[in-house]
């Protein structure tokens, strides 16, 4: 087993808040499954105009609670730097969507941002409507839309005007996508 990879995996295990993904990593280490570990640690899931989308699983290249948490904290940092103080968070019926939405709401609240977690699963357009209706500064929809069932995703919306761009509940565009990505990486 490559020592640097093993070190990265062990550090991830120490910080992973999820029992399921932590157990997958421990099992892969125990069986010296270097090929699988390399796949899971092949870089960070990239944030862009579509937000995040990817297969659910352990490690930085998959959708999981650790990646969602890092993304939520980066978004919170972006919001706070612009005086944005409120967010609506929705989720669909995919596996882990509610958990990812709840983690996002808790992390946003911990960062001092008022978080409105939608009361049940809902289609993506309802979240965009909620951003306007609730007059919040941002929105997150946990969904992978048309992607395969083993995937999940994290779409970001902005409300009102941000950095001179009138969003009004629409998905982010440049330069907000790269600015949020920068905060996530920080």
Domain ranges across the chain? 3-40, 52-185
Which CATH superfamily hosts domain 52-185? Alpha-D-Glucose-1,6-Bisphosphate, subunit A, domain 3 (3.40.120.10)
- State the catalytic residue, choosing from 145, 170, 178, 186: 145
Question: Residue 41: what are its φ and ψ, rounded to 5°?
Answer: -115, 30
DSSP state of 51: B
Q: How would residue 160 be classed by pLDDT, with cut points 50, 70 and 90?
A: confident
Strand partners, 51: 48
CA angle at residue 95 from 112 to 10, to 5 degrees? 70
pLDDT in tens, 116-150: 999 999 999 999 999 999 999 999 999 988 889 89
Q: For 40-90, what is each residue's pLDDT tens digit? A: 999 999 998 879 999 999 999 999 999 999 999 999 999 999 999 999 999
pLDDT at 165 over 90: no
Longest Cα–Cα distance in the chain: 53
Say whether 145 is catalytic.
yes
């Amino acid at each position: 087993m490559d020592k640097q990879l093993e070190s990265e995996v062990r550090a991830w295990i120490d910080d992973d808040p999820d029992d399921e993904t932590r157990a997958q990593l421990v099992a892969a280490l125990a069986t010296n499954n270097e090929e699988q570990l390399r796949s899971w640690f092949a870089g960070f899931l990239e944030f862009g105009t579509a937000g995040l989308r990817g297969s659910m699983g352990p490690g930085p290249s998959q959708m999981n609670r650790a990646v969602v948490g890092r993304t939520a904290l980066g978004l919170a940092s972006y919001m706070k730097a612009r005086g944005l103080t409120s967010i609506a968070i929705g989720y669909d019926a995919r596996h882990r969507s509610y958990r990812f939405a709840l983690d996002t709401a808790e992390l946003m609240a911990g960062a001092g941002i008022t978080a409105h977690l939608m009361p049940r699963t809902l289609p993506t357009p309802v979240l965009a409507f909620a951003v306007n209706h609730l007059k919040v500064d941002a929105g997150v929809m946990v969904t992978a839309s048309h992607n395969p069932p083993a995937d999940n995703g994290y779409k970001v919306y902005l409300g009102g005007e941000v950095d001179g761009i009138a969003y009004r509940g629409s998905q982010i565009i440049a330069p907000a996508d790269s600015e949020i990505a920068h905060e996530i990486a920080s």
